[in-house]
Structure 1
Amino acid sequence: MASQEVKLLSLWVSPFGHRVEWALKLKGVEYEYIEEDIFNKSPLLLELNPVHKKVPVLIHNRKVILESLLILEYLDEKWKEFPLLPQDPYEKATARFWANFGEAKLLRPGWAALRSQGDEKERALKLWIEDLEKIEGELKGKKFFGGETIGYLDLAMGWISYMLPVWEEVGCLTILDPKKFPSITAWTEKFLSHPVIKENLPPRDKMIVYFEKRIKEPVSAQ
């Protein structure tokens, strides 16, 4: 696949963009990366994604695909190398369920909890940890979410492995206690040790500076 046939608009720190990049690299797809500034969105981004005006945006042969989880499925249909989703319909539906759970109950609420204050913060973190326990249960006894190799759900949940520790540091919190979350802890080590993942992570020090700045912004600026 020639590089000019596949383009990806993303942001260096976007967990949504990184899951797409990981999938492209796991499948050996050449692509052109276009960095976006979410605070000064390019005319190209606004043209390609006029509804949400967000990254990532995948362009394949001039066709535009939006939303990272849908992009993962698109890539899995188009490039059969290194399959991501299970073939079994039940297992596929289950993977999709937990991916959506991660979006709705963990990623976005986690950022909101980090930015809240006082009693609201305590309540939000309590609910968040309870939902994280459900992921712990889903991983119990497994190497990766789908079994022995990295798959769709690992990429969807991958932000937990590298971004959550940064949030903990920025927010002076301890969430992923290895004793409370042994399965997630073990999965994190395996996930981050995979060459494709390890070589395609945003710099930790740069992330800390970024999130320290973002956490101080008014909610309306998010």
Structure 2
Amino acid sequence: MTGGNPDESSKSGVAHVGAGHRERLRTRLREGGGDALLDHELIEYLLALAIPRRDTKPLARLLLSEFGGIEGVLTADWAALERVPGMGETSVAAIKVAQAASLRLLRNRVIEQPVLGSWQAVLDYLRADMAWLGVERVRVLHLNSRNMLIRDEKMSDGSIDQAAIYTREVIKRAMELGSSSLILVHNHPSGNPAPSRQDIEITKHIAEAGKRMGISVHDHIIMGAEGHSSMRALGLL
């Protein structure tokens, strides 16, 4: 990278961090696991692996402040992270690979057993992936006749308050995959997971269209930083 990326610089007057501080963090991590480190220390150490010649504590604290916590940092998109002073491609990549590894672990828990029998694992995965997104995202979980996940597909990303979901496209894709049932999912960037009137209407349209084709809609989950809502649990399906 060129000198224009501050996280790549090793000879631009940036103070080199002594080995003692990071060794103490490593020792605490080794002996106490992840719970032994505070949120800013986890981000600090992660960034230190990418930019070893900088004191990454101030940058870690800035990220946590900018995105409202560790969840927001890990789920922020690439462009948003790069806009933070001191962040460049290497440090952003470190954040995103940590998120990818976490999501892979959570997603594997969902794949390994019937979805309806591992509901908390599904919610944990969806929360980690979607609850803190800055734009609205729609995804569909396709299940087979044994309620095993056969495809997890992102349908669309939208604006801060709206993303498109079309009944015809959802049902068409379900038929292509041979799905027996679906779980619709989207997030509310506002943080409030309460379904809107439009959310309720489109869910009913998809459920009715699916029923005609022998495809059931198990639920429509709305994720937000404040929690989640289930349309089935609310009696809306």
Q: TM-score, normalised by structure 1?
A: 0.30
Give the structure with the larger helix fraction: 1
Rg bigger for which structure? Answer: 2
Give the structure with the larger strand fraction: 2
Structure possessing the higher relative contact order (Cα contacts under 8 Å, 6 or more residues apart)? 1
Q: TM-score, normalised by structure 2?
A: 0.29
